[in-house]
Structure 1
Amino acid sequence: MKIMAVLSVMILMLSACGQNPSRRSDNLQSDLAQPAENSPEMINVRLGVGYYERGDIDTALDKLRKAIKLNPKLAIAHSVLAVVYGSINAQTDARRHYQLSVKYAPNDPIILNNYGSYLCQQGEFKQAITYYERIISNPFYKNTETAHENAGVCLMGDDRYQEAEQHFREALKINPRMPTSLYNMVIIKAGQREHLKARAFLQRLESLVQLDEKMLTIAYQVETKLGAKDSADAYRLRLKKANN
């Protein structure tokens, strides 16, 4: 299971480009007047994403640069271009376009989340958290569970487990069925030797996804600590099969 909950290009595009901006229903205030979905610049952004997903980086870059040439202040184009540059380790260009995306859409949660995820991947944890907090504090954005979850993951990377737990709990309060938050709560509670709580989060996680080797190992350890020999043996057998 993937722990780092970063915003994928596809999700970003579904959120920002797949809808008519004049009819978005996520209670956001637009930073700038957005171009129509069928405008040349938005068509080029979507084409850029499509080529990127097919692995044609050169053509993706060409389409995204064309979008920005048509509309230099189109934040979503800068954000997607930054993702593409980051994928080829062109970090100077990636950072520049992330910063431009935030400059042109300083209140857009998609843009802020994407940049926060990038900063977290670069190990700039404290700065990344500030972008997640800007999303969470936006009164016009109600779906903050992803920002809470991503903040929690980032804080885990910085060994700030207590703060991470607060964000995961907030995410699960909004949406109880968030595997990444549940996964990390298992890790936190097992690490704190709160085995009953770790078991409860494990059970919730297992109702949603198949446990990976790390979770099976923790599950075996938790059940062993709780003296539940049959359950521990069952997890041990599943772990043995997973390793074969």
Structure 2
Amino acid sequence: MRSLLALTISALALTGCVTENSYDGNDKPVVENKINNTGAARTRIALALEYLSTGNSSQAKYNLERAASFSPDLPEVHYSFAYYYQQVGENVQADKAYQKAIKIDPNDPNTRNNYGVFLCGINEYDRATEQLLKAIEIPSYIRVAESYENLALCAIEFDDFDNAEKYFKSAIKHSSMRASSLISLAALYYAKSDLHKAKEVLLRYENSGRVSSRSLLLSYLVEQRMGHIEKAETTAATILQTYPTSSEAGLIREQQTKRSEFEILRSQYRQAKLNELQASSPAGEVISAPQIHIVKKKKAPATSTSAQNSATKITPVDTGSVLAALNTAAVVVAPLPTSADTTAVTTKQTEKNNDAAAVMSALEIEHTHTKAATTTSAVPSVHLAATPSSQAPANANKPQDGVKIVSFGTATGNQAVANSSQAATPSQAQFNNELTDAEKVVFYQPKRNAAVFAASGYSSAPE
């Protein structure tokens, strides 16, 4: 009994220590709603940004403060505050807010990206590049193409066009169909006057199935610069018909394309290159309209045969003197072969005369201008040959030729010599008179060898 009572008291004591939250007269327990501070903070941030876009800065700041009260260690709260300060012109407060966000989470890529954009806006190009590149290096970052595009746009602001092209290409590699990067890269090529590359990038953008008034205006400018007037007019008509209320259509309608972003970028690029020339010039200044003195070189005269001949002075040659000096050529008649099988004609050349002084004394040619590679001469070349020592006449100073000539089927020797003597000039007649009987040409009439035809089986009688 005592034990049962003790047990009952113990049970009552235990039930007295338990508290149950329930409605009066209802056994259903009350569920305590726990607030998600991170979600609430992000909701307040979204409201703040919406108010800020409409120009209601006071409501934007209020919601940001509520977000900070919910989650003070959330990086989004602080870089949202930084963006608010940036929009209202408080750059010092914005810089502090960004640094505080980075201190809370150094590996937050969104903080690094937004901080880089802010630094670029306040002319801190080097620091901006550093922050944007750090954002890209974070492995968990998925908006790499956007950061590369921010880098390129920031580089253009500081006339770093080479790096801008590199960053645009990197952005396209990470997002091949990113429209803003494609059009911006084409615009950069247009600014550099690389029209073919600009057209290729625009064609790649159009092949993706997208079209916009911005891309069409750039295409219009490219075609116009390339001289494709018909294509340019067709593109302009497309802009006016498809996007009549766009700013690009207004520029074409008013013929104010010089005020477009692409022409402004083109002028910026040209001015940047002019500044580079000015910085690198020794005098420190570049004249926009320099006076240039052009010296036209005279064309070299054409080298022709007639010009070379006119430049060479030729002394006429006295034929009589040459013949007298050379004592002409000696012609020797060879005896007719007695054998019937011998039909070959032999020509014997004699040795050359070594007395060249007599020849050179008669051939004096004065050259005023001589070219080593191509030299033409109007003086005919004379080939000399001397008679053998056995057949040389008593006067050894007169060179003679010892050529043996045999002819068949022509006139007799006396008739040929007579005809030759009638047609010869006085100097040639003198030359023929000086020839001996052994040196004169004698023509022989060929004779038929009947034994040859008889042995071959041919008939001697005509058919």
- Deviation at residue 217 of structure 1 after TM alignment: 4.5
Matches within 5 A, 1:111-150: 111-141=111-141, 143-150=143-150
* Residue type of the alignment partner of 2:49: Y
Give, as a single letter, the amino acid of the residue that structure 2 aligns with 1:43. A
Other-structure match for 2:97: 97
Cα distance per residue 1:31-79 (max 9 Å; x no partner): xxxxxxx622541332232143034432332232233344433211001
The answer for the alignment partner of 2:87 in structure 1 is 87
- Whole-angstrom distance in 2 between the partners of 1:118 and 1:46: 24
Q: TM-score, normalised by structure 2?
A: 0.41
Q: Summarize the Cα distance change of 1:112–1:209 in structure 2 as closer, same or farther, 3 Å threshold.
A: farther
Number of residues of Structure 1 aligned to a counterpart in Structure 2: 205
Q: Which residue of 2 aligns with 1:52?
A: 49
Task: Identify the match of residue 36 of structure 2 among 31, 39, 58.
Answer: 39
Closer/same/farther in 2, CA of residues 220 and 60 from structure 1, 3 Å limit: closer
Show structure 1 runs of 5+ residues with no match.
1-37
Listed as ranges, the matches of 1:1-12 within 5 Å are none
| Corresponding residue SS for 1:145 | helix
- Quick one: percent identity of the two aligned structures? 25
Q: What is the CA–CA distance in structure 1 between the aligned matches of 2:100 and 2:39, rounded to whole Å? A: 17
Point out the structure with max Rg over C-alpha.
2
SS of 1:196's equivalent?
helix
Give the whole-Å Cα distance in 2 for the aligned partners of 1:102 and 1:208.
38
Deviations 1:2-28 (A, max 9, x none): xxxxxxxxxxxxxxxxxxxxxxxxxxx
Q: Which residue of 1 aligns with 2:197?
A: 197
Between 226-235 and 114-123, the greater mean CA deviation after superposition: 226-235
CA distance in 2, matches of 1:209, 1:111: 33
Cα pair distance change 1:143/1:58, threshold 3 Å: closer
Give SS of 1:141's match: coil
CA deviation after TM superposition for structure 1 residue 216, in Å = 4.4
Q: C-alpha deviations, 1:63-109, integer Å up to 9, x for none?
A: 32233344433211001111122222222222211121122121111
- Distance (Å, rounded) in 2 between the aligned partners of 1:139 and 1:69: 31
- Equivalence for 2:210: 208
Compute the displacement of 1:143 (Å): 4.5
Structure 2 CA distance for aligned equivalents of residues 83 and 209 of structure 1: 32
CA separation of 1:208/1:158 partners in 2, compared to 1, >3 Å: closer, same or farther? farther
Equivalent pair of 1:113/1:131 in contact (CA under 8 Å) = yes
Change beyond 3 A, Cα 1:228–1:143 = same
SS of the residue 1:73 aligns to: coil
For the residue of structure 2 that corresponds to 1:119, the secondary structure is helix
Q: Which residue of 2 aligns with 1:109?
A: 109
CA 1:196 to 1:158, structure 2 compared with 1: closer, same or farther past 3 Å? same
Q: Against the structure 1 CA distance between its residues 41 and 61, is the aligned structure 2 distance closer, same or farther, given a 3 Å change threshold?
A: farther
> In the superposition, relative to structure 1, how do residues 51 and 147 fare at CA in structure 2: closer, same or farther (>3 Å)?
closer
User: Does 2:65 match 1:68?
Assistant: no
Q: What is the alpha-carbon distance in structure 1 between the residues aligned to residue 103 and residue 151 of structure 2?
A: 21
Please provide the CA RMSD for this pair: 2.3
Question: What is aligned with 2:221?
Answer: 221
Is the 1:48–1:59 contact (alpha carbons within 8 Å) kept by the matching residues of 2? no
Which of structures 1 and 2 has the larger relative contact order (alpha carbons within 8 angstroms, sep 6+)?
1
Q: 2 CA distance for matches of 1:159 and 1:239?
A: 30
Is 163-172 or 51-60 further displaced after alignment?
A: 51-60
Residue 63 of structure 2 aligns to which amino acid in structure 1?
K
CA distance in 1, matches of 2:101, 2:39: 15
Higher helix content, 1 or 2: 1
* SS of corresponding position for 2:213: coil
Shift of residue 239 of structure 1?
5.6
